[in-house]
Structure 1
Amino acid sequence: MSEATATVSRPAIDLARIKAWLPAYGVYVAIALLLVYNVLFTPNFLAWSNLRIQLIQVAPIVIVALGMALVIGTEGIDLSVGSVMALAAALIPLYLGYGVIAAILVSLVAGVLVGLINGTLVARVGLQPIVATLALFVGGRGLALVISDGQLKDVRNDDLIYLGSGDFLRIPVLVWIAALLVLVVAFVVRRTVFGRRLLAIGGNRPATELAGVPVKRVLITVYVVCSVLASIAGLLAVARIQSSDASAVGLLIELSAITAVVVGGTPLTGGKVRVLGTVAGALLMQLVVATMIKHNLQPSTTEMVQAVIILIAVYVARERKSR
């Protein structure tokens, strides 16, 4: 009788383990399956030219998603990252005459200012993150269009172009920069006091405040970091396409970044940041899009598949939280 009971209960235990395992590692399984499918059925998928294009396209999303993951780790969200990219792109041509370093610094300072505004509205004024960042989601791109006079401007600077189009050891410099930022963010989250405070705020903000943690200062810093990473993505986008178009740079990238973070296993309720999972989430979504393009599927189909993936990721995260 006991053996029969054990036999019946075993599948339920296995199913529970699968459900617990899926949010953290399901994205890697999905990537592996997509890679196998493409190797078998997509012509020239393993050609270096194709892999290089995929890495270049996903690198800016990874950079923006890293900042988004930090913000979501505090139970917040930042909708202004695309506008920050546009603002950085608009400023680059204006200051490139003073040298590439000056232009990069100005674009980064713009990111710092936007982050300070967002962080102050959230931490000190007490606005909901989605409301606070929505203002600059709209206003930031408008300001970028004003700065650029609504015109596309060519960028002709070899040093800047090298960052977006050059190679180092046959790997795009853009990818090296993204990889370095991944390592830095992972170290900050796992090995620093700031990282522990960030996660504590997302896990239980009132308790963190009672423990004496400078919650407001940490929150402002998180939003500043997020905006600076978006600025880096913006200037790299300009360097890659060799032009500045404030109306197009970073358009809707906030949705791609949020998707990468959620699919990668970081809960929207905060308290946890999966850095490698975020990278994997961005790679998965890029593979989905690339696979459908290679097989001549309509863009509308691609968007619907992405929506289904997001819904599945959110549902799995919800199930895990309920347990």
Structure 2
Amino acid sequence: MKVFGSLSQEQIVFGLAVLLCICFAIALPGFLTASNLLNLVRSVSILGILGVAMGLVVIGRGIDLSLVAAMAISVAWSLQLVSNGVPLPQAILLGLLFCLAVGLINGVLIAYVEIPAIFATLAMGTAVYGFGRYFLFSLDVIYMPDVARPLMWLGQGRFFGVPVPIFLFAAVCLLAYAFLRYTKYGRYLRAVGDNLQAARITGVPARPMIVLQYMLSSFIGFGAGLITAASVASMNTRVANSTFVYDVILVVVLGGIGLSGGRGGIRNVIVGTLLIGVLLNGMTIMDIQYTVQNVIKGVILLTAIVIDTILNPRDEQTAQQGDI
């Protein structure tokens, strides 16, 4: 989608990221050092991976507000199971199945019961958090037991001097790009997001594709959760009640993936993650208060949504039930 002349939103966001880098490099000594830039990318790798998960759902004209809650509870349960003596592979498998079940229920509620995605996933996120805290474990923070220490390489390891989370972010982006570009299911997902009725007429299995996109979101989210736990040797389930999910949406919308569905791709997630990473890193170095940072991010998100509404106006198709 072109914004100003021949420039797309993706190109403008990338240009803003470069401009911010130049400004911070001039104003903040040490910003452009190799170690700081690696830490910058590493710090937003998890946000970027979650952005890929959310991006796939938004391209399919949906939204997943339960993503962070499902990630936190499923990974925390896996760690709790390991602490209780369950073998690590089995515990990870059970946590993954739990997370996939959340995605499956989301998809069924949205595709077959036809509950609008924003309400279905909002309720699911609350239900998952409450279920996990009451039935699965009782503590806010679940620490990684010694037997699960091999997982810490995912969050703290280095490969050729580069933090492993950066490689994992790149791998997720590459796989998601290949899925959208080269598989029929990726094309189906984009077709459903672009025009649901037209997709149905042409024989696309629209309802199963909606279920698939939410299960993909949960699958990628669980992987991001493992990296999160590996980075800090614990999983803080309070993140489910934080504004983190809105940071994920900010990355997606700011990068240029249209909320009306069917538009954008993985490159949009990458440039959105890059801009937010530079912004957060600069604000942290300048010691800007966390609450002020939230205000700034909120204003940016609102601005991005307004721009998206102007660039991708709702028509008769995008005003159908289930649109966000």
TM-score relative to the length of structure 1: 0.89
Counterpart residue identity of residue 223, structure 2: I
Q: Verify: 1:162 aligned to 2:153, yes or no.
A: yes
Q: Verify: 1:41 aligned to 2:32, yes or no.
A: no
Match of 2:202 among 203, 211, 233: 211
Counterpart residue identity of residue 25, structure 1: Q
Q: Verify: 1:313 aligned to 2:300, yes or no.
A: no
Contact kept? 2:129, 2:240, Cα under 8 Å? no
Over the aligned positions, Cα root-mean-square deviation in angstroms equals: 2.0
Q: Verify: 1:246 aligned to 2:233, yes or no.
A: no
Contact kept? 1:107, 1:235, Cα under 8 Å? no
- The 2-side partners of 1:185 and 1:266 are apart by 14
Q: Verify: 1:152 aligned to 2:147, yes or no.
A: no
Contact kept? 1:174, 1:236, Cα under 8 Å? yes
Structure number having the greater helix percentage: 1
Partner deviation per Cα, 1:266-309 (whole Å, 9 max, x = no partner): 00000113211112112211211221221233333322322232
After superposition, residues 15-34 of structure 1 pair within 5 angstroms as 18=4, 21-34=7-20
Counterpart residue identity of residue 107, structure 1: G
Greater CA drift, 59-68 or 93-102: 93-102
Contact kept? 1:20, 1:320, Cα under 8 Å? no
Contact kept? 1:39, 1:45, Cα under 8 Å? yes
Change (3 A) 1:314 1:17: closer
After superposition, residues 200-279 of structure 1 pair within 5 angstroms as 200-248=191-239, 251-279=242-270
- The 1-side partners of 2:182 and 2:241 are apart by 31
**Unmatched 5+ stretches in structure 2:** 315-324
- The 1-side partners of 2:192 and 2:142 are apart by 42
Larger Rg: 1
| Corresponding residue number in structure 2 for 1:64 | 50
Q: Verify: 1:108 aligned to 2:96, yes or no.
A: yes
Q: How far did 1:245 drift?
A: 2.5
Q: How far did 1:20 drift?
A: 5.8
Q: How far did 1:312 drift?
A: 2.8
Q: How far did 1:102 drift?
A: 2.4
Q: Verify: 1:130 aligned to 2:121, yes or no.
A: no
Matched residues, number: 308
| Corresponding residue number in structure 1 for 2:285 | 294
Match of 2:271 among 280, 286, 302: 280
Contact kept? 2:69, 2:239, Cα under 8 Å? no
Contact kept? 2:80, 2:142, Cα under 8 Å? no
| Corresponding residue number in structure 2 for 1:11 | none
Contact kept? 2:194, 2:261, Cα under 8 Å? yes
Q: How far did 1:88 drift?
A: 2.0
Contact kept? 2:3, 2:9, Cα under 8 Å? no
Change (3 A) 1:102 1:61: same
Contact kept? 1:83, 1:141, Cα under 8 Å? yes
Percent of paired sites with the same residue: 29
Match of 1:119 among 95, 100, 107: 107
SS in structure 2 of the partner of residue 248 of structure 1: helix
**Unmatched 5+ stretches in structure 1:** 1-15
Q: Verify: 1:53 aligned to 2:42, yes or no.
A: no
SS in structure 1 of the partner of residue 18 of structure 2: helix
Greater CA drift, 295-304 or 131-140: 295-304
- The 1-side partners of 2:11 and 2:182 are apart by 22
Partner deviation per Cα, 1:17-48 (whole Å, 9 max, x = no partner): 72562423111011110111122221111233
Contact kept? 1:141, 1:247, Cα under 8 Å? no
